[in-house]
Chain A
Amino acid sequence: MKSLSSKIYMYLLYIFLYLPILVLIVFSFNQSKSRANWTGFTLHWYGDLFRDERILTALLNTVIVAVCASVLATILGTMAALGIHSMKKTGRAILMGATYVPVINPEIIMGISLMILFKFFATHFHLRFGFATLILAHISFDVPYVIYNVLPKLRAMNPNLVEAAQDLGCNPRQAFFKAVIPEIMPGIFSGFLMAMTYSVDDFVVSYFTSGTNVEPLSVTIESMTRVKVSPKINALSAIIFVVICAIMIIKNLIENRKLRRDLALSRAARQ
């Protein structure tokens, strides 16, 4: 951030990124439904939002789906990563190729292909569209991110670690849980968080796989933008924004503190 021009460039960029959201938030306090004329301050829309059962239920649905899907995806993905890590070249290439598919496949294709599959299940095995289909679909696109986060940790792990643990008297099981798992835990955890993020944010796949009874928040928002729009939606954006900012600021503060400490340590070490 040295030259003035690069500073200006970054400011413009961030204004571009934040301005629309900020406008949305400002108008959540607007008295009238207008999205361009300011008629006075009110918290009315927030009250409405918290009384809107549909939105609250949708929020709950999103949380349930995201938590279930990311927990299951983390388990499945960690197991898969361990398996893939110990595989020979061909097997690994095939599975990694298949893992790549949900990541690069356009979401809409994933959505419709799963919808066709679930429809098939629904007619032949009485599967109902709802939590089950949503969670299955979400796991499918979550698992790759877990694998991509765990595998590098496995690669970076000292291959003698297990042997060392066994030499120290661990049985294979103990060696696995006491030596391997702690070693790859950061990868598992970041994979879990990423899966969670993708699940919460997903619209397209949920849109095609949610059915009638269970509606995640993103699908609710979409249908809200199609009818007469209520400023409730602005209030919702504001709340989401504040929550995310809070999470990010806390995370950033912790990291920066660590960073400063590391810097200070290294400086101290040099002296």
Chain B
Amino acid sequence: MKASKALAVPYAVWVLIFTVVPLALVVWFAITDSDGSLTLENIFAMSDYMSVLFRSILFAIIATVICLIIAFPAAYIISRASAINQSTLIVLLMVPMWINFLLRTYAWMTLLEQNGLINKLLGLIGLGPYNLINNSGAVILGMVYNYLPFMILPLYSVMVKIDHSIIEAAQDLGSNKVRLVRKVLLPLSMPGISTGVIAVFVPSVSTFIISRMLGGGTNDLIGDLIEMQFSGNSYNPHLGSAMALVLMIIVLFMMSLFNQFGSEEDMPI
């Protein structure tokens, strides 16, 4: 089979052209100005956008934690269901994921509006109207709603492999529920957690469409700023690239932080 090594050559070339070179271009843009001369100005200018970066990270962390809290019991319940129920529950989880995420986010837009359905219903019992949209809560809700399945699925795939007898043994040995979760379930599902955390955090921290649709331009995230520099209101691809570079480094950091819990051979999906 030695000859088959050559089969990877086209892909290696592909990776070079469509992964390595574009990222190198981003770095190049980040350290040059519009005349093409080297400058650190863009990187320094990023200091001004620190708060937005922090807000993005903060929102993403909150969304990730909420997802984890919701997903953990859900994944456990699914993993303990009968085989047929399991596959049904998983399919039910996947169906909303298959619907374009713009449509899903749009659905929340119509629900949360000042004269949307939720405020209408609240009005019927004499409450509101509340400002439900165009605030940070709405943006985080959008992240949780869109990326929750990304947390449940890896957790489930790890938990389903946990032998039921281990849990029973722990219960027989007198573990209460809290101890069961902390000493048995949590350590055993660590690989799933780390995959899930990355799968939720990365798209959350870099989103621009959720914050645009649910944040109304008052809760811009780093993704919005990047988009703005390339095809929005303030054209400056060099600054945009600097922002992208910073975002990339943050993601890299998150990755290395969480990869140590998962094993190297894990499929990152």
Contact = CB atoms under 8 A, between A and B. Distances in A.
A108 B226 contact: yes
Interface in A71-124: 76-77, 79-80, 82-87, 91, 95, 98-110, 112-117, 120
Interface string A39-52: 00000000000000
Contacts of A105: 23, 248, 251
Contact of A203 (B11, B70, B100, B115): B100
A245 B95 contact: yes
A87 B267 CA distance: 19
A84 B15 CA distance: 13
Contacts of A80: 7-8, 10-12
Size category, A interface: 35 or more
Given A1-B85, A6-B77, A204 B209 contact: yes
A79 B99 contact: no
A126 to B, nearest CB: 17
B148 interface: yes
B187 interface: no
Interface of B is mostly: helix
B202 interface: yes
Nearest to B70: A13
A271 interface: no
B10 A79 contact: yes
Contacts of A174: none
B100 A240 contact: yes
Nearest to A1: B81
B230 A10 contact: no
Nearest to A260: B84
Contact of A197 (B74, B98, B103, B213): B98
B33 interface: no
